[in-house]
Amino acid sequence: MEAMTEKNAAALGLLTRGCLECHTMEDLRSKIASGKPLRVKLGVDPTFAALHLGHTVILSRLRAFQDQGHTAVLIIGDFTARIGDPSGRDTTRPPLSLEDIKANAATYRDQAFRVLDPGRTEIRFNSEWLEPFVQKDLLSVLRRTTVGQLMQREDFSARARAALPITLLEILYPLFQGYESVAVRADVELGGSDQLFNLLMGRALQKDYGQEPQVAMTLPLLVGLDGSKKMSKSYGNTISLTEGARELFGKIMSLSDELMLSYCELLTQRDMAQVRKTHPLEAKKALAAELTARFHGGPAGSGELQFFEDTFSKNKRPENIPERKISEEVSSWSQLLVKLELVGSRKEAQRLIAQGAFKVDGEVVRRDPIAGSLGTGGGRAIVLQVGRHKFCKVTAMTAKESSR
């Protein structure tokens, strides 16, 4: 093994910040100490059009490798998206059409480059090698891989115990992801904590193909706005990279203090000891400004911070509150907030209501059912406020208006 210099040791500490598992740390030390530029792989299946902050946890770590002179190999899974990654799933993912996959994949490059250095990024589509692999090499790989090996995967074994279906295509998914590492000759592969089995399959297949096995590094999954589940479009708890600067800033400000600390650790390079010494509101504002600047430019970060200070810290209502008209058929505030697109899901709305983060005409409302009508007499408008940053002026339509 190459000797680790003080500089290499510092680099290793930065690259493994927050790392959950590394197979193996000795291999990573050796690869860094060799001084050779590494090929660091990350695969993303284009299952939705927008990337979200959860994706940037690993994209940011990929950028950290780039900043130390290594090459990021970003693999867009246009082939594997047809199967659906079973990681962390207790049901089979619904299939995507080729048209949807292509449309989603077309947006990923620009979004990823909000974090990655384009000059040190190699973008590949896994259909490039997986389509030939299925036709030529799949049978030989299947002969060397046992059903027992694949069923050691926790999500597969849990579904088998519960008598839930597992498709043959899902069982093949780890082999396809593992073969990617062979195809691009990866030195390191990054993934979320639910990806470890797939990453280790890459190490195993590289050994079979006579390559030096990659280092498999996993990072925590970013918890979504609901404070409980991983950030996922499926759960409606995301902060997407395509959101406007004000929306992004506001969603960060809506985080609980505990969740804010997790976001600081996973999404920034800040000294966490110093962050914990800072008042949570000030730390949250700094985080919101940093992330807004990262994805929308420096002026946007400082501008949104100033807007927040001027409007919310001084308890002022913003000017030009958007106005909407709705029917009287809404029976709960959570239903109304989803209808107005002020939240991503009813569960998120109910959580905010229970936390006292929802106001009607300046008064906190903690009960979800709407008592009586929304007050259509004379077309009176009510002002809804969600958290500190979202306002909407709502007027309920009369029966005559809603029937037009």
DSSP string, 245-311: HHHHHHHHHTS-HHHHHHHHHHH----HHHHHHS-HHHHHHHHHHHHHHHHH-HHHHHHHHHHHIII
Measured CA to CA, the distance from residue 263 to residue 57 in angstroms comes to 9
pLDDT number for residue 372: 64
13 has pLDDT over 60: yes
pLDDT digits (tens, 9 = 90+) for 282-338: 999 999 999 999 999 989 999 999 988 887 666 566 767 888 887 667 788 998 998
DSSP letter assigned to residue 39: E
The pLDDT score that the predictor gives to residue 313 is: 61
**181 touches 154 (CB < 8 A):** no
Give the C-alpha separation, 215 to 203, whole Å. 8
The CATH 3.40.50.620 portion of the chain extends over 6-221
List CB contacts of 318: < 8 A, sequence separation 6 or more: 307, 311, 391
Q: 23: closest CA among 188, 260, 248, 226? A: 188
Distance CA 284, CA 252 (A): 7
Identify the three-state secondary structure at position 351.
Answer: helix
Is 153:146 a contact under the CB 8 Å cutoff? no
Number of continuous H segments (helices) and E segments (strands) in the chain: 18, 11
The candidate with the shortest Cα–Cα distance to 312, out of 253, 248, 228, is 253
pLDDT at residue 1 greater than cutoff 50: no
Instruction: For residue range 230-255, list pLDDT tens digits in order.
Output: 898 778 888 999 889 998 998 999 89
Query: What confidence category does residue 200 fall into, taking pLDDT thresholds of 50, 70 and 90?
Result: very high
Phi–psi pair at 122, nearest 5 degrees: -110, 115
Across the chain, mean pLDDT equals 85
Asked if pLDDT for residue 211 goes beyond 60, the answer is: yes
* Chain centroid to CA 162: 28
- The mean-pLDDT minimum among 71-75, 216-220, 354-358 falls in 354-358
Q: Cβ contacts of residue 145 below 8 Å, gap of 6+?
A: 175
Per-residue pLDDT tens for 140-181?
777 777 777 777 777 777 777 878 877 777 788 889 999 999
Q: Nearest Cα to 323, choosing from 250, 392, 230, 243?
A: 392
Is the pLDDT at 399 greater than 60? The verdict is no
Residue 404 has a pLDDT of 47
The pLDDT of residue 84:
67
- Measuring CA to CA, which residue among 319, 323, 317 is closest to residue 381? 323
Share of the chain above pLDDT 90, in %: 41
- For 92-116, the pLDDT digits (tens) are 556 678 888 888 888 888 899 999 9
- Range with lowest mean pLDDT among 34-48, 141-155, 189-203, 390-404: 390-404
Average pLDDT value for residue range 22-27: 94
User: What DSSP element (H or E) covers 22?
Assistant: strand 21-23
Provide CATH code, domain 323-402. 3.10.290.10
Cα distance from N-terminal residue to C-terminal residue, the chain: 77
Beta bridge partners of 326: 396
pLDDT band (50, 70, 90) for residue 382: confident
The pair of structure tokens assigned to 401 is 């208006």
pLDDT in tens, 33-76: 999 999 999 999 888 888 899 999 999 999 999 999 999 999 99
Q: What is the third-level CATH fold of 6-221? A: Rossmann fold (3.40.50)
Q: How confident is the model at residue 185 (pLDDT cuts 50, 70, 90)?
A: very high
Note the pLDDT of residue 375.
47
pLDDT of residue 92: 56
**How does pLDDT run across 259-281, given as a tens digit for each residue?**
999 999 899 888 999 999 999 99
